[in-house]
A and B are shown apart, each in its own frame.
Chain A
Amino acid sequence: MSFILYLLSGALAGLLGGMGMGGGTVLIPILTIFLGVSQHIAQATNVIAFLPMAAFALPKHKKAGYLKTEGLAYVIIPALISSVLFSLLASVTDGEALRKLFGAFLIALAVKGLISLRAEFSSSKKGGKSA
């Protein structure tokens, strides 16, 4: 039974991720809030589950010409360095504290999302096009 619940959680996250919204920002709260998974295990599940998805998606995106690698090393190399440091920090952070921090991060992302939705609304009104 739990196999199916984890499968469905992953599917919902993959669906959102594939549509260009954050998959992990949905998978991690589902696992912790509804399925009682610890914050650390939920985070580990998300980073691992991302890899096969990326392995499937990247060749398709490359073929479609969507990958823009110009100057990308300037992003990836510092990202890798901070990712190593902050993954180590996460590993030694108390699960409860990490959960609260993650919650605050989600709230910040939601506020950012609200702002961009609002901008989208006002620009579509100006355009006068009703979809």
Chain B
Amino acid sequence: MKMSVLLRRGRRLTQTDKTGRILSGLGVGAANGLFGGGGGMIAVPLLSAQARLNAKQAHATAILVIAPLCLVSAIIYSVNGYFSVQIVIPAAIGNVAGGLVGAALLDKLPPVWVKISFVAVMLAAGIRMVIG
């Protein structure tokens, strides 16, 4: 009884809502597990659409969804020998520092040139990785 309340809380989820969320979860988990990232890029638009969240809510809630996925991937990758302490320590420190600055800037949503550059970088990097 209590669990079912926790599962819906507030608005009652229809069967379609539930199915949509389960499929989204499967997709986000598959991408994030296989690629070690990018789950958030899928989760944000899905959360915005399905749970009708605004940009900030979707971004924040996506972190909550992705964090446990990253934890299980971190364990599985590390157990399989994919771990480099020399790389992960500076990258993690940088990530936290950059994240704090980025979050402070989030009060103003990123200007359009940042979004365009980001898409261009993804496209270039993607092509380079496919043909390189």
Contacts and interface: CB of A to CB of B under 8 A. Distances in A.
A69 B63 CA distance: 12
Contacts of B84: 37, 41, 44-45
A13 to B, nearest CB: 6
A76 B101 CA distance: 28
B34 A104 contact: no
B11 A45 contact: no
B98 A51 contact: no
Contact of B18 (A52, A64, A74): A74
A47 B109 CA distance: 25
A38 B63 CA distance: 25
A91 B121 contact: no
A2 B88 CA distance: 12
Interface in A72-116: 72-93, 98-111, 113-114, 116
B110 A83 contact: no
Q: Give the one of A6, A18, A120 with max B CB within 10 A.
A: A18
B37 A46 contact: yes
Contacts of B80: 91-92
Contacts of A28: 35-37
Given A13-B98, A24-B40, A79 B9 contact: no
Interface of B: 6-11, 13, 17-18, 21-41, 43-45, 47, 51, 53, 55-57, 59-61, 63-74, 76-78, 80, 82-84, 86-88, 90-106, 109-110, 112, 114-116, 118-123, 125-132
Question: Which 4 residue pairs across A and B have the least CB separation, nearest first?
Answer: A18-B102, A24-B37, A43-B36, A14-B98
